[in-house]
Structure 1
Amino acid sequence: MRDKIERKGIDNMIIKKYKHKTIATFLIIFLCIFTFSACEKNITDDTTEETLTATPLSVEFEADDLESSWDDLESSNITLNGDSISFDGQGATISGNTLTINSSGLYTVTGTLDNGQIIVNTQDEENVRIILNGANITNLNSSPIYVMKSSKTIITLADGTENTITDGNSYENIDVESNEPNSTLFSKNDLTINGTGLLTINGNYKHGINSKDGLKIVSGNLIVNAINDGIRGRDYIAIKDGDISINAKSDGMQSNNDEDLSKGYIYIEKGIFNIIAQADGIQAETQLQIKNGDINIVSGNGSENATTSTETGSAKGLKAAVDITIDGGNIKIDSLDDAIHSNDTLTVNNGTLKLSSGDDGIHSDTSIVINGGDIAIDKSYEGIESALITVNDGNINITATDDGINAAGGNDGSSTNGRPGQNEFNETQGIGLTINGGYIIVNAQGDGLDANGSITMNDGIVIVNGPTNSGDGSLDYDGSFEMNGGLLLAVGSARMAQAPSTTSAQNSFNINVGSQKSNTLIHIESESGENILTFAPLKNYESIVFSSPNLQNNFTYNVYIGGSSTGSNKDGLYAEGTYSPGTLLTNLTITQSVTEYGSVANQGPGGGGTKNNKDFPTDGKRPTGNPPTDRQKPEDREMPANDDISSSEYSVPLQSQ
């Protein structure tokens, strides 16, 4: 296996690797350091595929990880003198330009070493503590700091100091079997970094920091430059705080233990992160959990590179093979590949996410659950994509050159359109999209809301602008669309338009308005003049699907096109103010759950709408076979301006009849 998770074919490696095992095989793998249980297996029999179920990480930072725990220790002093080393204390030996620490204790390092090494090789069970107090260490032939054996090594960056370690571009005396050491700061055992000083790491051979066990970063300022991965912790990377900048030619941060499901995770409690990575920004073999922090990632030279790149490797922002959970923080990602990608499950509970992707904004093979947060997907091929998608709350704003929200299953065939990665979906019991709340804005050139299964909307506000091409629709579903509550507004082209199912609990309009220019108002009011909807679509449009609790049975509504409003406009929706009428299009009286006007395309399963093309099927589903010839390829489409769309807590007042 190569030094970071290999791209195509290994994205689902964990799931495939543990197939066809008995339950007993897995009973012992869930005990984990730091008192967390990483994953559970749900196995029906010895021959079926298991479902990986992630549980939240709970990471404990122990007392000896903290700088204050060293106050009562007496330090031995290591002084670096250019081409030599002097030592005052006990527990270390010097041979030429190499100092070997062979006993636990506290060691303070100062000065400059032009071409030498500090080795930790202890046999006792106590920790080695090293204070870098203005140390500058260069080794042209190996790791400047090399932990061969230690119960745990703790490196403290002394307050107010600047420290640097640099290696050369070739190593001598490497273990051929393990290819170690292979990084500027290399540890075969647990490693902790803390303090308030600065440490700059220049990795000219391979990686910047590499721990073959666990890596904790409690605090400190780190600048890591590496020609391969920036920071690696095989068993885990656990970050309590810190200011970390990484410039890596491969992954920014990576935990890659693929042999134990209780390991291979990354946990971020808080901190400041600026990561530039040619491959994945942050990548975990099992779980990635972000509690808080300011995280800025550019991967694969960013989303702008997607139109010209021939790179087939993974260049995702956040990536994990089992689960990603985001509980908070300010996260900004500009990625060649998916901005956020999980091979299994993904949950967003809170936080501010600003994503720009050359592929999907948020992708998970099995399921995505969004419980809150402010999510702005400013650029994407598909905005949010998974087999099962549930939105419970949150402010979500999506711009996509294909589908805005896509509930898909099996292989993602659209991945073959020259995009960086190839997404595959896990087998699931069902495929669909459920919206229980939230405020969702979609600006799509493909389908707005797309489900290879069914859609259910119970509450919230959803506004879809687009598409303008006749090969896609604002709504596209293969099963049913149960519209039970909330406000739905889907505006786009007419030929492939679908409305909610006629079995829905809440009423809907499906109206063909002819060819209209962007920002041309559509206004719906009751016979008494009470405003139901005033909306200015972002793009040119032909049809509108509208559902609201205000649409009452046996009431008549007037539909206008054009005109003006003095109300406040947010995301095209006007609130308050006075509407000056344009052209009266029609009067519609509601006698059933879906009321249509004009030559509408498709009401979906359960509907009986007139099709505007005789070749359309009558079962409410999309035609099969090749798409219309006038449908543009995603790479040929121009991204429309989206200056008027921004996520907010704005809501439309619902007026009772």
Structure 2
Amino acid sequence: MKNDILISKLGVVLLCAALVTACSSNTDTTTPTEDNTSTVETTVKSTDTSNVQQASVKLSDLVTFDEDDSATAWTADESTAITLNGTSATVDGSGAEAKDGSVTITAAGTYVLSGELSDGQVVVNNQDDGLVRLVLNGVDIHDNDSAGIYIQEAGKVVMTLEEGTENKVSDGATYVFADDTTDEPSAAIFSKADLTINGTGKLEVEANYNDGIVSKDDLKVMSGTYEVQAADDGIVGKDMIAVATGDFVINAAGDGMKSSNDEDTSKGFIAIADGTYDITAGNDGIQAETSLLIDNGSYNMVTGEGSENGEVKMGGDPGDRRGMGGNRPSEPGGKAKKSETNGTTGAATETEATEPTEATGATEVTTEVTTETESTSAKALKAGGDITVHAGNFTIDSADDAVHSNSSVSIMDGQFQIASGDDGIHADSLVAISGGAIDITKSYEGIEGANISISGGVSNVVASDDGVNVAGGNDDTSTEDTHRQDKFNSTGDHLLTISGGTLTVDASGDGLDANGSISMSGGTVIVNGPTNNGNGSLDFDGSFEQNGGVLITAGSSGMAQAPSDNSSQYSVNMTFSQTQQAGTLVHLEDSDGNEVLTFAPSKDYQSVLISSPDLKEGGSYTLYSGGSSTGSEMNGLYTDGEYSGGTEVVSFTLSSNVTWVNESGVTAGRMNQGPGGGGGNRGTEKDSN
């Protein structure tokens, strides 16, 4: 039944993300791929962790669209005509029968449907497993108490939307089933066989009972225009959904598009080559039980009534040191289970504690109530396995995570505009960004994963808590603690790797937060914030090896960290005695007057960190504050201009890989060097004089 799907290597090839483990060597290795023409591989390297690898596939690696899927032509003399006449139908040809206002198709062949059926059903019940082709040639089919089109049995059904036609299929709000053991059909268009929809016509589906279009096997869409209004899910392909192209407008109280097979890891995936998707969903926008693959397309998605409806969290709170996000509802396996009412359910448990009272010393019994909540998932792009995006334009306004994988996320290209009520991009394993333009204008935490690799692209992140967060845990909640458990914290082997691209972060919590280590060898990173002293622009537990690229951070000074002493590139951290106003320029130049950097932080700041290839050992530098620049500005960084009018703050000489300075000159380095040279305690500054 699935001989046209190439899935034998699905579990191996799709984003084979290896979790990092401790490694004492500094050896870089790359695992070769079997076919370099169809697989892209990125290797993340660090001196104290092993490699994290990410590979990707395209739709053609998973799905083959065969000749039957693409064929739309038909002739009158080789087909059966079915004319719908309100409460009855007429059949001209063989293989179908009209009775009691409904039509039953029992043989393979091509059937051309036209007209209106006000309360009846088109049923396909072909026992010989042959191909049944339904040509919708301008139909309006409505059934008051069941599916308008019900495919009970067939080897495969191809539904063609005839060019230039508009077609509608709808159902009533209440279904009548054959007996108490049956709950099918459950959609306005319901198929128990493989279903392909093609053609250039239009299909409108109004699902008042439950789902819009459902295939219990494979669902392929080759082309066409679709408007789906659904009381629950819009479009469902249990074993898979594969879309070549199409124009979709989906308004669903449940999920917009979903593949739901959770019993076979080679199924339950969604693969999209192209198309336009305007999805408004009460729950998830596009949800794959296993993997989600997008080659291209345009996506406008609103889930859970948008980011304004996201769960309120304590973003940026100095006391909120909970790694990846804090207090979230239970989401088994990283996937929230939707209740029948699409609401929230809860179960309360009581525990007793005893403590003596002050007055009598007697034991007083108190009751602590712990409530486990189950919340509706309202993510935009969601997969139980890997998410791979090769290209596309995405505008996302989600109450929950905008992009969420229980495994890995790989973004190779594409344009993303994201407003999220929770995380912008989340992966339980690896987030790998190698290209594209990502603009996260609103989030709780911007980019979050057990490991994160940024090797290209332009990423802008605004977060009410941490901007980029490595290895704080997944979305599970322990029954012993209503706060989310930081499952990965104890190992410290997790890695944020930046080797290229541009990353700009505006964070109220930590800017770059690694419950593990950070390695930067290329690219440009700018961090604005936080402004409170309970968080830092950098927060890492292991080491931060700065071996290339440009790093600029501006924020509060209370938790300030700098790259590790074993970095090969030089860094300077300036601490001002007073908070500087947002927009006040920081200008650093060498003893010959050559500009190293001119930067205007977007937030108030007291600490500024600069790491650049232009900083040289033994070089003398002067830092200025205020003034103006004639250069071109992007994200606060000025280039190719003249600086003037500033006030000299301090002059100093670089004598070590990390130099700490204040307005008096070079100071003793803070004690922020933990194992491998990073993290750990922050001490007080002392003048070196």
Q: TM-score range by the shorter chain?
A: 0.7 to 0.9
The one-letter code sitting in structure 2 at the alignment partner of 1:114 is: S
Distance 1:246 1:170 in 2: 21
How far residue 528 of structure 1 moved from its aligned partner, in angstroms, is 1.1
Q: Does 1:38 align with 2:10?
A: yes
Deviation at 1:173, TM superposition (A): 2.1
TM-aligned CA distance change 1:569 to 1:420, over 3 Å:
farther
Matched, 1:464 2:527: yes
Q: How far apart, CA to CA, are the structure 2 residues paired with 1:32 and 1:258?
A: 21
Superposition deviation, residue 438 in structure 1: 0.5
Q: What is aligned with 1:351?
A: 414
Q: Compared with structure 1, are the counterparts of its residues 391 and 54 closer, same or farther at alpha carbon in structure 2 (3 Å cutoff)?
A: closer
Alignment partner, residue 105 of structure 2: 101
Once the two structures are superposed, the pairs formed by residues 294-309 of structure 1 within 5 Å of their partners are 294-306=298-310
Which residue number corresponds to residue 373 of structure 1?
A: 436
Residue identity matched to 1:293: G
The corresponding residue for 2:638 is: 574
What's 2:200 paired with? 196
CA contact (8 A) 2:88 2:98 kept: no
Instruction: Give me the whole-angstrom Cα distance separating, in 1, the residues matched to 2:619 and 2:188.
Output: 74
Q: Write the deviation string for residues 403-424 of structure 1: whole angstroms up to 9, x where unpaired.
A: 11000243569999xx999997
Structure 1 residue 331: deviation in Å? 1.1
Instruction: Tell me: CA distance 1:350–1:71, structure 2 relative to 1, closer, same or farther (3 Å).
Output: farther
Measured after TM superposition, the shift of residue 96 of structure 1 is: 1.0
Tell me the equivalent position of 1:403.
Answer: 466
Q: Which residue of 1 aligns with 2:669?
A: 609
- Change in Cα spacing, 1:592 to 1:464, as seen in structure 2 (3 Å) is same
Q: Distance in 2 between matches of 1:304 and 1:327?
A: 29
Preserved CA contact (<8 Å) 2:625 2:649? yes
Q: 1:32·1:263 contact (CA, 8 Å) conserved in 2?
A: no
Take 1:343 and 1:78, find their aligned partners in 2: how far apart are those partners? Answer: 47
Residue 85 of structure 1, aligned match among 78, 89, 92: 89
**What residue number does 2:372 align with?**
none
- The equivalent position to 1:273 in structure 2, one of 265, 271, 277, is 277
Listed as ranges, the gaps of 5+ residues in structure 2 are 19-51, 314-342, 345-374, 683-689
Alignment of 1:308-323 (within 5 A): 312-323=375-386
Any idea what SS the aligned residue of 2:587 has? strand
Counterparts of 1:89 and 1:346, CA distance in 2: 52
Partner of 1:324: 387
**Structure 1 residue aligned with 2:163:** 159
Q: Per-residue CA shift, 1:254-288, capped at 9, x if unaligned? A: 00101111100000000000000000000001000
Aligned-pair distance for 1:515? 1.2
Report the equivalent of 2:657: 593
TM-score for the superposition, normalised by structure 2: 0.79
Decide whether the 8 Å contact of 1:32 with 1:38 is kept in 2.
Answer: no
Say what the alpha-carbon RMSD is for the aligned residues: 3.1
Match of 1:535 among 595, 599, 603: 599
What's the offset of the Cα at 1:610? 3.5
CA contact (8 A) 2:17 2:53 kept: no
Deviations 1:363-391 (CA, angstroms, capped at 9, x unpaired): 00011111111111111000000010011
Shift of 1:348: 0.6
Corresponding residue to 1:559 among 623, 626, 629: 623
After TM superposition, the structure 1 stretch with the greater mean CA deviation from structure 2, 72-81 or 123-132, is: 72-81
Provide the C-alpha distance between the structure 1 equivalents of 2:212 and 2:186, rounded to a whole number of angstroms.
9
Distance 1:275 1:225 in 2: 10
CA contact (8 A) 1:281 1:298 kept: yes
Q: Deviations over 1:500-521 (max 9, x none)?
A: 0011000000110231000000
Instruction: Tell me the CA shift for residue 53 of structure 1.
Output: 9.1
How far does residue 608 in structure 1 lie from its aligned partner after superposition? 6.4
Shift of 1:40: 3.1
1:230 aligned to 234, 239, 243, which one? 234
1:122 and 1:618 map into 2 onto residues whose CA distance is 68
How far 1:568 moved relative to its partner?
1.5
1:516 pairs with 2:580:
yes
Question: In 2, Cα distance between the equivalents of 1:449 and 1:572?
Answer: 18
Closer/same/farther in 2, CA of residues 599 and 531 from structure 1, 3 Å limit: closer
Q: In structure 2, what is the Cα distance between the partners aligned to 1:74 and 1:420?
A: 65
Cα separation, partners in 2 of 1:478 and 1:492, compared to 1, 3 Å: same
Give the Cα–Cα distance (whole angstroms) in 2 for the partners of residues 73 and 599 of structure 1: 91
1:244 maps onto 2:244 in alignment: no
Instruction: Quote the residue 2:356 is aligned against.
Output: none
Q: Residue 434 in 1 paired to residue 406 in 2?
A: no
Contact residue 295 and residue 392 of structure 2 kept, 8 A: yes
Deviation at 1:582, TM superposition (A): 1.4
Provide the rounded CA distance (Å) in 1 between the counterparts of 2:190 and 2:475. 40
Instruction: Determine if contact 1:366/1:427 at 8 Å carries over to the other structure.
Output: no
After superposition, the Cα gap between the structure-2 partners of 1:276 and 1:427, relative to the gap in structure 1 and judged at 3 Å, is: farther
**1:499 maps to which of 557, 562, 577:** 562
Q: Residue 182 of structure 1 aligns with which residue?
A: 186
Q: Which runs of 5+ in 1 are unaligned?
A: 1-29, 45-50, 625-657
Q: Deviations over 1:549-594 (max 9, x none)?
A: 0001111001001111111111111111211131111112011100
Identity %: 49
- From 504, 507, 510, the counterpart of 1:444: 507
Deviation string 1:28-65 (CA, Å, 9 cap, x unpaired) is xx998245532139999xxxxxx999862521111101
Residue 177 (structure 2) pairs with residue 173 (structure 1) = yes
Q: Is the 8 A contact 1:65 1:218 kept in 2?
A: yes
Aligned letter for 1:165?
Answer: V
Amino acid of the residue matched to residue 606 of structure 2?
E
Deviation at 1:396, TM superposition (A): 0.4
CA change 1:172–1:563 in 2 (3 A) is same
Partner SS for 2:309: helix
In 1: Cα distance, 2:445 partner to 2:199 partner: 42
What is the distance in 1 between the residues matched to 2:453 and 2:676?
Answer: 29
- Kept in 1: contact 2:542–2:677 (CA 8 A): no
Does structure 1 retain, via aligned residues, the 8 Å contact 2:187–2:211?
yes
Deviation at 1:73, TM superposition (A): 7.3
2:12 is paired with a residue whose SS is: strand
**In the aligned structure 2, how far is the partner of 1:239 from the partner of 1:191?**
12
Equivalence for 1:287: 291
Tell me how far apart the structure 1 counterparts of residues 424 and 193 of structure 2 sit (CA, whole Å): 36
Residue 313 of structure 1: CA displacement? 1.4
| Whole-angstrom CA distance in 2 between matches of 1:102 and 1:194 | 22
Moved more, 507-516 or 210-219: 507-516
Q: Does the CA contact (< 8 Å) of 1:365 and 1:425 recur in 2?
A: no
TM-aligned CA distance change 1:445 to 1:366, over 3 Å: same
Structure 1: how far apart are the matches of 2:156 and 2:621? 73
Q: Is the 8 A contact 2:129 2:153 kept in 1?
A: no
SS across alignment from 1:471: coil
| Aligned equivalent of 2:267 | 263
CA–CA distance in 1 between the matches of 2:486 and 2:105?
A: 48
- Secondary structure of the residue aligned to 2:607 is strand
Q: Does the aligned pair in 2 maintain the 1:39–1:54 contact within 8 Å?
A: no
Quick one: distance in 1 between partners of 2:54 and 2:589? 49
